[in-house]
Structure 1
């Protein structure tokens, strides 16, 4: 199932920069000074909405230690409340990303057709934060890979001892199951043994719904 049917419209919006694998590799330096989870938590202190660190950083927050280098920092926020995030950073620039294209400026049209937004410092060109504008229904989170998966935000957001919110590891691994790049496989192999029996069961159930032939299912059944 596509991540978001609306993103097909992104192909029709002019002004995009195509992102080939070589282009993405060339952006590594611009992401080298991205914020850490602690930095973004400090900058978003007092924001009254359910946000969370996502991706590989979320798995490291779950494990209580950094286990590998991270190329960026991703957070998820309810799509309809994205303005409460962008209002925090009036001096910075948000660009839209979708369908392997980058729009340097996330116009309303781009925001409507994509779910991913990169926050850039215009003075240095550094990318600092990757914001996922996630589908939701009020206080219910909706999985963009399979919209029948709906969970209350209070069930999907965990916190570190010092209060940094992060997406529960079962859902992080569900997203990583789509492509299974080498880093995704490494994350699964490192995190799966640290999941509780209930977390392993839920991850297996979710992957079974979205990717019923996925090789991780055999590992989770052991």
Structure 2
């Protein structure tokens, strides 16, 4: 397990089974996101991970406090600061990430990511033109863990791809269907314009 030091303390990601157990009882949609979502899509380990991400729709944000009752929740309030997230506080639109840990002396364990929606549609927080039905935003692993569809996760990773994002893209690319490739090309083109992944997706 990777332990990552940040300016705000140490990360020690919660095991995927614990994440699933804690969020399985919430009355809203949720998805494992980030690099772990890509690994769930390809069905194998790709690399080490500094954190574990869970995506919620912004309208369901308080479900995180329910799932992680008794924990500490801190809002990543840009630029570059953390602050306590008060019980029942509705976070402002510019806050997209919440760091969570079991207690004040414990390492950070789970990162909550908030995304936008309109009715039954997911709306990218990066570009409101990029949308899809919430029902098609993710899928479920054989173990019953919901995770973000790889093409949606790769769309976010395409913004400023790092070596780990390139690694995730290379692992997922052979498994993407024609429909997934077409959606990803359209989403990347709409938001970022030209991008080196487009040619590979169209090959």
Query: TM-score w.r.t. structure 2 length?
Result: 0.89
2:10 corresponds, among 30, 34, 46, to: 30
Tell me the residue number matched to 1:94: 73
Give structure 2 stretches of 5+ with no counterpart: none
SS at match of 1:66: coil
Structure 2: how far apart are the matches of 1:199 and 1:98? 33
Number of matched residues? 198
Are positions 1:156 and 2:116 aligned together? no
1:181 corresponds, among 162, 168, 178, to: 162
Alignment RMSD, CA only?
Answer: 2.1
Give structure 1 stretches of 5+ with no counterpart: 1-23
- Whether contact under 8 Å (1:95, 1:102) holds in the other structure is no
Structure 2: how far apart are the matches of 1:136 and 1:42? 25
Change in 2 beyond 3 A, CA 1:216/1:129? same
2:39 corresponds, among 60, 64, 72, to: 60
- Alpha-carbon shift at residue 91 of structure 1 (Å): 1.4
2:149 corresponds, among 157, 161, 168, to: 168
SS at match of 1:207: helix
Change in 2 beyond 3 A, CA 1:75/1:179? same
- Alpha-carbon shift at residue 110 of structure 1 (Å): 8.8
- Alpha-carbon shift at residue 117 of structure 1 (Å): 0.5
SS at match of 1:162: coil
Tell me the residue number matched to 1:39: 18
Q: What is the 5 A alignment of 1:1-222?
A: 25-26=5-6, 30-32=10-12, 34-107=13-86, 111-112=91-92, 113-222=94-203
| Higher-helix-fraction structure | 1
